[in-house]
Amino acid sequence: MNVRGKWHGKKFYFGLHYDLHANEKDTELGTRCGQKELIPMLKVMNPDFVQTDCKGHPGYTSWFSKVKYASIPSGLKKDALKQWRAATRELGLPLHCHYSGVWDGAAGKKYPNWRVVGSKEKSVEGRANHIPPPIPAEVKMCPLGPYVEKLMIPQMLELIDRYGVDGFWIDGDLWAVEPCYCKRCRKSFTEKTGIIEPPTEVDDANWGVWWNFTRENFEAYVTKYCKAVHRHNPDVLVCSNWLQTFLNPGEPIVPTDWISGDNKWVFGLDQSRCEARFLSTRKKPWDIMLWSFYNSHAIGDPTSPWTSKSPQMLMQEAAILLSFGGGVQLYENPGGVRDGRLVEWRQKRLREVGRFVKKRRKICQDTESIPQIAVLHSEHHLRKTTKVKNLMFDINCAPVTGAVYSLLENHYGVDVLDEWALLPRLKEFPAIVVPECHAMSEDMVKALKDYVQKGGKLLLSGADMFERFGAAFLGVTKGRLEEKAVYHVPAADGSVPLYSESWRLVKAKEATVLGCLAKTPLLDETLSFPAATINRIGKGRVVYIPANIFRDFDRNRFVLTREFIGEVTRQLVGKLPIMIEASTCIDVALRKKGERTIIHLVNRLSGIPNQPNNGAIDEIPSVGPVKITIKRSKKPRSVTTPLEKAGVKWKYSKGKIILRLPLVHIHEAIVIH
């Protein structure tokens, strides 16, 4: 498939996203964002492109739309969008519109036939503290309804023609979608599947069919507005917030121009670690939007108001993304200020972040991964096993994230690929980790077996993997299943308790045992069941961990669990061409650009690690040393550290480069030429 991807050019790398979500009571919008006010503030921050307020979740525009079905605040006095366009045009900056898609409260109120019809069952409750609450059905538009053709597309074309906007960042889309039970959707579902009644409970046998029907309807809706914009003006770019990102794996067939999403407003660093490693495989330009402000609790909690993030906190979040070639945009909304002005002291902070980002552009752009370990994030598994209503929130990818975190903290280079991306690239990776995704496709199972037979190294985890790969391949007996149990696994100088929804208590046949389970921490009272096994198949090897170890690590982050995973992985992969010794808090990204090898080191350390209710980072302590050993047939021409200039020392001897770096502050890159 030819994946459509387009961007404004390499220099447009650092963006400002400003939205206010206009509502029916707004009267001040646009009164303080004339050219005389905007241009000096934009010059302070110095972004490469701008996304500004257009139509937010309440469904009201911040400009005087002439579309028949538009909703405009009755007290609106100034056209904010006109002023932003004039200012960005004078500065030579592309201007995108922040436009809320599926979520439109005003349209839902005025045109009930357009909106989603919910089931009688309640939406999913009990979400984590930093996941927004469920969105009421009455403010969400049905993807099969008239909304997209009567309001959304006409307004997008109006914005192109009247204001010459350069792009659209469509918010309130994928993450606002839950199944719709209107007559249109019911009829279409029955016609496509033959199922008369769509399920209302996630445990229904037909839930997966219904959920995927919802996903396909949403993709068709996005495709419709993308094609309409591209027909009208092929140079205007379109993005649907969070579509084709980590929580939406699979072939990126919807013709958006670039991929983007706004990261969690706090505690977002882990999310970036997975997103960067996944988005870099999508074959499209991409960025992540970082909130420049945060609170410590749930959205809307009056006891936890919004405040500005420190520049260092934003730099640390940005570094993860930059190291994989992504762009960065900063979301700014100076809470309580509704007139459209930008606040100078906040713009100065964002300028610091911009300088950090732009300094890294030439080193980070247009790079490719140096493959070490691929973590499979199977779209087939997700689509078969999803037991939630929303298309993004509540989707549980814990085994994948747990695998990424544990492998990174053992200093491996990690890429995250779905089946679409991994199948053509299997042979590139020295090792592949398949974390508890037993419902992967049959094609994937066959390809992984062939990969091992030809010399690949595979790590499988989860009791159900036995059924997919078989006793002969794993070199173990079938054993018995035990549900919801805790066993101790050996790690470092001790052992660690591991909870798993299911264990397969196997015994080794052809395989070699890598430590035995125990019921207690007593190291001399082990059982006869292996904690892991390793088996030779053809030219390759396969490790089997018969429990949900990566899901457990995502939840608990026990140090000794990480040690166990690290030891098992070392037994599997042996020594790789690039080996790194560093503090656990340093993440590695292995990249190449032409003849240059680039090793990115990102320091995730926080200066205040013992405040679990506060995700802020005020300062980041430097950490070191770092030792890197690289196999290389020839002595390099140069080894430099251009970002933080930490003073790398290196020597070349007997086909190896040995590098020592004393400290990493936030983000250093070692460039070897």
- What value does the mean pLDDT take over residues 476-499? 97
- Give pLDDT, residue 646: 84
- Give pLDDT, residue 611: 64
- More confidently predicted of 119 and 655: 655
> Per-residue confidence at 137, pLDDT binned at 50, 70, 90?
confident
pLDDT in tens, 302-311: 998 999 999 9
- Give pLDDT, residue 2: 54
> Which phi and psi angles does 566 have, rounded to 5°?
-60, -45
CB 309 within 8 A of CB 296: no
Average pLDDT of the chain to the nearest whole number = 95
pLDDT at residue 438 greater than cutoff 70: yes
Q: Tell me: domain 369-575, CATH 2.130.10.10, correct? A: no
- Give pLDDT, residue 394: 83
> Per-residue confidence at 128, pLDDT binned at 50, 70, 90?
very low
> Per-residue confidence at 201, pLDDT binned at 50, 70, 90?
very high
What is the 8-class DSSP label of residue 115?
B
pLDDT in tens, 557-604: 999 999 999 999 999 999 999 999 999 999 999 999 999 999 999 999
- Give pLDDT, residue 124: 38
Q: Could you tell me the CA-to-CA distances from 555 to 400, 408, 462 in Å, in that order?
A: 12, 16, 16
Partners of 259 in beta bridges: 286
- What value does the mean pLDDT take over residues 490-507? 97
Partners of 516 in beta bridges: 530
SS3 content of the chain, % helix, strand, coil (to 5): 30, 25, 45
Give per-residue burial for 615-628: e unless 16+ CB within 10 Å, then b.
bbbeebeebbebeb
What pTM does this model have?
A: 0.96
Q: Please state, in angstroms and rounded to a whole number, the distance separating the CA atoms of residues 620 and 658.
A: 27
CATH class, 15-365 region: alpha beta
- What value does the mean pLDDT take over residues 241-263? 97
pLDDT in tens, 268-280: 899 999 999 999 9
Say how far residue 422 (Cα) sits from the centre of its chain. Answer: 17
pLDDT in tens, 386-425: 999 999 988 999 999 999 999 999 999 999 999 999 999 9
- Give pLDDT, residue 609: 54
- Give pLDDT, residue 174: 97
Q: Could you tell me the CA-to-CA distances from 544 to 495, 516, 574 in Å, in that order?
A: 18, 13, 16
- Give pLDDT, residue 121: 47
Fold of 579-672: Immunoglobulin-like (2.60.40)
Q: Alpha helices of 167-262 — where are they, by DSSP H?
A: 183-193, 207-232
Express as a percent the part of the chain with pLDDT over 90. Answer: 91
* Number of Cα atoms under 13 Å in the Cβ half of residue 377: 31
- Give pLDDT, residue 618: 80
User: Residue 323 has which token pair?
Assistant: 């190291």
How long, in residues, is the chain? Answer: 673
Q: Is 139 helix (H, G, I), strand (E, B) or coil?
A: helix
Name the amino acid, one letter, at 473. Answer: F
- Give pLDDT, residue 15: 98
Same fold, 15-365 and 579-672: no
The residues near 33 (Cβ < 8 Å, ≥ 6 apart) are 78, 80, 83, 84, 87, 339, 340, 341, 342
- What value does the mean pLDDT take over residues 516-521? 96
What ranges do the domains of the chain cover? Answer: 15-365, 369-575, 579-672
pLDDT at residue 470 greater than cutoff 80: yes
Burial class (CB in 10 A: 0-12, 13-18, 19+), 200: middle
pLDDT at residue 127 greater than cutoff 70: no
Residue 390's CB is within 10 A of a number of other CB atoms, namely 23
